[in-house]
Amino acid sequence: MTTKTPTDNTADITKSPTTAAPLIPLPPAVARITTVAGSAVALVGTFLAWTWTPEFPGDLTVTGYPGGLQVLTLIGATLTLLFGLSGYGIRGLGWLTPGGTNSPVVLLALGTLGTTGYAMGAISDELGGLVNLEPGAWISGIGSLVAVIAAFGLPVDRPYDENDSAPGLWGRLRHSLTAPDPGRAKDLPAWAEILIIAAGFGIGLYVFAYGIGTEYSELFVGFLIIAGFGFTAVARAGLLKRLSALTTKHRNVTVAAAFAAAICFPFTQTNDQFALIGANILIFATVALGLNVVVGLAGLLDLGYVAFLGVGAYAAALVSGSPQSTIGVHFPFWAAVLTGAAASLIFGVVIGAPTLRLRGDYLAIVTLGFGEIFRITMNNLNGNSGPDVTNGSNGIPNIPDLEIFGFNLGLPHDVLGHQLTRSANYYLLMLLFTAVVVTVFRRSADSRIGRAWVAIREDETAATAMGINGFRLKLLAFALGATLAGFAGTVQSHVSYSVTPEQYQFAGSVPPNSAFLLAAVILGGMGTISGPLIGASLLYLIPAKLQFMADYQLLLFGIALMLLMRFRPEGLVADRRKQLEFHEAGQLDVPEATALSEGATGVAKAGA
């Protein structure tokens, strides 16, 4: 068998007629200077008035003090300027682009143009035409447009190969999304690496808090545009890969930094409504992480998972002292939590025992049916169609706030000079629950049982042939996932003050529901910890901030998932296994001699 070495492969690519051809025929020096100059012009325009009337949100009439959408253009232009200057080898800026100097510039220039163009369009639409735009908007718009045109004239960071599109506009954009690997960074002192990790999570906290704190939809749309292009640019520059290597090296420091940043979030919010969004995001993310045990680790497609959340919420509501509870008992906090988790565990075992002998689509259909059966049953336990347990469609309202060690979560409290509202209190409680769920997931995934789940997910027949009891382990995954969902449901019932059957549907306009939970796991990355957390945050935050698009949520999410499956099927955060599975075409062939020697070494080790 003839194999191709990496050197031959590189040589063939270099001889390709599409090697490193820029889209705009400009000399590299001219293209870079023009990109930097266009970004500088766009930046200057943000300090001038963009409209003559303060009727547009954000008051863009002030000269010398950017506000609203001007700030986003200012950030985009500044980043484009810095990444553009890093290509000159300026001392202190080279670290920005360890993996390539030009692809991030293209993406940031597009993000700046997109944000500025959207702002100009929104002003014209709301105020009645382009005549409402002041010179500052035109200066920033023209500057960002010039920067984009010049950025497409920059040389590509790596040669085109036979798998790339032709070097047109679409081909260059796709090429910018696949920048070269940054390589291994030189080792730094441990304290410096820890400071970099802390700075990374600090920046993440600031961006997340800014996104939640946007007070009007126009600003949030602009934030999504610049954040999307900015995140992709930073990733293609190689900075995220370098940060990922550091977080892997200092795993315990990373976990501590992540939760420290999360604890600081409520102290950055002055609006109780924004803190409530944060609490609901944690509930949604925790349930998605529980579903990740079932779908991501064990490979069981569960379309009725939200029913387990409902079981925990109803169980906690019945024993938490609500005047409308038909049981009429008031358990303390810890007992209510255990009751909700135990009820979901029992429900998971009862549902899983007869259904987990099915596979694939059959299992998905049956779990979908059980999810609907739960909702209908809660509706029928109203005293007419069945026993009076759940008050039917009225649900269980007036659930009292939790009180833990004399600390009433429903009352505001002053902590370190900052007033924590009711929503902030529940956010911190849910953060504690999230820490428990993350710990359970990590320990389970790294254990012998977790490896068995992965084996079942990859090939159940082969796993069974190796001695793995597939049914027992699948039932264990189902039960664990149900318990984690019920765990979060106990807090969700108190946060929302009530539970009703309509909250636990397969698909609906208000998450969490089964469709959104499954989408969060797929969007974020199956089998990972941070993936479902990020996916759940996006899927909850975007509808919460763009309520005028509520009628088109399912359509938009469907389009988003199709685009994700096309361009990043492994999810936003993917483990190594998924990356290799979905991107096998990019791997180099292993020389035959090397493969044989590695095989002989493996056999020798096994024999020893």
User: Does residue 437 contact residue 484 with C-beta atoms inside 8 Å?
Assistant: yes
Q: Count other C-beta atoms under 10 Å from residue 195's C-beta.
A: 12
**Interatomic CA distance for residues 85 and 40, integer angstroms:** 11
Tell the CATH topology of 271-408+417-582: ABC transporter involved in vitamin B12 uptake, BtuC (1.10.3470)
pLDDT category of residue 94 using cuts at 50, 70 and 90: low
| Confidence bin at 171 (pLDDT 50/70/90) | low
Predicted pLDDT of residue 583: 57
The reported pLDDT for the residue numbered 18 is 42
For the ranges 187-201, 484-498, 555-569, the lowest mean pLDDT is seen at 555-569
436-453 burial, b at 16+ Cβ within 10 Å, e below that, comes to ebbebbeebbeeebbebb
Q: Which residue is listed with tokens 């500088």?
A: 40
- Among 60-74, 157-171, 195-209, 362-376, the minimum mean pLDDT is found in 157-171
Q: Give residue-wise pLDDT tens across range 123-139.
A: 999 888 888 899 999 99
258: Cα separation from own chain's centroid: 14
Helices 360-380 and 306-318 pack at an angle, to 10 degrees, of 30
Least confident of 47-51, 99-103, 140-144: 99-103
**For residue 414, with 0-12 CB atoms within 10 Å meaning exposed, 13-18 middle and 19 or more buried, which class applies?**
exposed
Q: Is the separation of the CB atoms in 508 and 544 below 8 Å?
A: no
Output 580 or 444, whichever has higher pLDDT.
Answer: 444
CA angle 80, 82, 88 (to 5 degrees): 110
Q: Is the pLDDT of residue 111 over 80?
A: yes
d(C-alpha 450, C-alpha 476), whole Å = 11
Closest CA to 101 of 197, 176, 2, 211: 176
C-beta pairs of 54-58 under 8 Å, 24+ apart in sequence: 55/126, 55/127, 56/122, 56/123, 56/126, 56/127, 56/218, 57/215, 57/216, 57/218, 57/219, 58/216, 58/218, 58/219
Angle at CA of residue 128, ends 124 and 129, nearest 5°? 50
Indicate the pLDDT class of residue 17, thresholds 50, 70 and 90: very low
Rounded Cα–Cα distance for residues 458 and 298 (Å): 9
As a whole number, mean pLDDT of residues 420-431 equals 88
The answer, yes or no, to whether the previous bond of 155 is cis (omega within 30 of 0) is: no
**401 Rama sector, left if φ>0, alpha if ψ -120 to 50, beta otherwise:** beta
**Banded model confidence at residue 80, pLDDT cuts 50, 70, 90:** very high
Residue 390's pLDDT band (boundaries 50, 70, 90)?
confident
Q: How high is the pLDDT of residue 39?
A: 94
Residues 325-375 have pLDDT tens digits of 888 788 888 888 899 999 999 998 988 888 888 777 788 888 888 888 888
- Whether the per-residue pLDDT at 20 is higher than 80: the answer is no
In this predicted structure, the answer to whether residue 286 has a pLDDT above a threshold of 60 is yes
What is the average pLDDT across 82-105? 74
**In this model, does residue 416 exceed pLDDT 80?**
no
144 three-class SS: helix
Residue 460 Cα distances to 169, 407, 456, 481, 581, angstroms: 44, 49, 4, 19, 17
Average of pLDDT values for 473-480?
90
Task: Give tens-digit pLDDT for 242-264.
Answer: 888 888 888 888 888 888 998 88
> DSSP characters for 102-130?
SHHHHHHHHHHHHHHHHHHHHHHHHHTSG
Q: What are phi and psi of 382, to 5 degrees?
A: -115, 5
**Which of the residue ranges 44-48, 283-287, 289-293, 306-310 has the most confident prediction, judged by mean pLDDT?**
44-48
Report the distance separating Cα 504 and Cα 490, nearest Å: 14
Question: Residues of the chain with pLDDT > 70: what percent?
Answer: 82
436-459: pLDDT as tens digits: 888 888 888 888 998 898 888 888
pLDDT value of residue 192: 86
Cα–Cα distances in angstroms (integers) from residue 589 to residues 160, 175, 575, 581, in the given order: 19, 22, 21, 15
Dump the DSSP string for 524-586.
Answer: H-TT-SHHHHHHHHHHHHHHHH-GGGGGGHHHHHHHHHHHHHHH-TT-SS--HHHHHHH-GGG
Using pLDDT thresholds of 50, 70 and 90, give the confidence band for residue 170.
Answer: low
Give the pLDDT confidence score for residue 585 in this predicted structure: 47
Of 222, 373, 250, 400, the residue nearest 306 (C-alpha): 373
Q: How far is CA 341 from CA 137, 312, 334, 533, in A?
A: 55, 6, 11, 21
Those residues whose C-beta lies under 8 Å from the C-beta of residue 244, and which sit 6 or more positions away, are none
The pTM assigned to this predicted structure is: 0.79
Q: What is the pLDDT of residue 6?
A: 36
Tokens of 200: 């990374």
Tell me: pLDDT of 265 over 80.
Answer: yes
Q: How far apart are CA 173 and CA 107, in angstroms?
A: 8
pLDDT of 23 > 80? The answer is no
What pLDDT was estimated at residue 158? 58
- Higher-confidence residue of 208 and 161: namely 208
CA angle 229, 235, 241 (to 5 degrees): 165
Helix 514-524 vs helix 553-567: angle between axes, to the nearest 10 degrees? 30
Residue ranges of the domains in the chain? 20-247, 271-408+417-582
Q: How confident is the model at residue 589 (pLDDT cuts 50, 70, 90)?
A: very low
The number of angstroms, rounded, from the C-alpha of 148 to the middle of its chain's C-alpha atoms is 28
Q: Apex CA 155: angle with CA 83 and CA 99, to 5°?
A: 50
**More confident: 515 or 599:** 515
Identity of the highest mean pLDDT range in 12-16, 319-323, 475-479, 541-545: 475-479
Q: What is the pLDDT of residue 22?
A: 58
Structure-model confidence comparison of residues 157 and 51, the more confident one: 51
Q: What is the pLDDT of residue 19?
A: 43
251 burial type by CB count under 10 A (0-12 exposed, 13-18 middle, 19+ buried): exposed
Task: Report the C-alpha gap between 347 and 315 in whole angstroms.
Answer: 11
Q: Which of 519, 525, 526, 533 is nearest to 571 (CA)?
A: 525
DSSP class per residue in 449-491: HHHHHHHHHH-HHHHHHTT--HHHHHHHHHHHHHHHHHHHHHH
Q: 348-352, 386-390, 430-434, 495-499: lowest mean pLDDT where?
A: 386-390
Write the burial class of residue 587 (CB in 10 Å: 0-12 exposed, 13-18 middle, 19+ buried).
exposed
For the chain, how far is it from start to end, CA to CA, in angstroms?
A: 30
